[in-house]
Chains A and B, each alone.
Chain A
């Protein structure tokens, strides 16, 4: 089955710096890659996603890039703020909608700390 590796497990940056989190996946049939932010005591919040037919997507300070050949995708956060501190998860799925969209395979998570 699908396997997703996420690095680093912890990341500490100063406010205003950029943060990059990287994930690799094993199943070349994976076609959808969401990123989630989870704050203490809350469920994961979808922050950005990318489909396999797109190489890059940006939403304000957040961007995601996808390299299908190398089977890796990355989350980029620019101008980090203390409120960006949280656990970030990448995920992948091979779902096509015909049988399932729901089986996300998650990375292990990255604890991001932004120091003021």
Chain B
């Protein structure tokens, strides 16, 4: 079974630009969560999607948004990038209601210059 796929793996942007990151969960998994990982703040929850609906959202500004498609693939978008948005963005695949395990992808390394 293929694992979680995240694209692109690396991205360099400049301040003020916007970026879209993509995540394909494990086949058959219906829920996706997104996390931001930085050396200073560690791993922080961004949002969770199940059946195209956002079920939970972390404490991030409105510049961070996401969505999930009918095939369970998910995207997250960051608008008006700031230097502090430089981070590893991780997507986790969750089988669905009743399952607790979260399986992470390799992440997208975003650098904002």
Contacts and interface: CB of A to CB of B under 8 A. Distances in A.
Interface residues of A, number: 27
Interface string A93-116: 101010111111111110000000
B14 interface: no
Contacts of A61: none
Interface in B12-69: 31-33, 35, 42-45, 47-48, 50, 55-56, 58
B97 interface: yes
Contact of A100 (B44, B55, B106): B55
Say whether chain B's binding surface is mostly helix, strand, loop, or mixed: strand
Contact of B101 (A42, A49, A97, A106): A49
Contact of B56 (A34, A46, A99): A99
Interface residues of B, number: 29
Nearest 4 interchain pairs by C-beta: A102-B48, A102-B33, A43-B104, A106-B43
B106 A101 contact: no
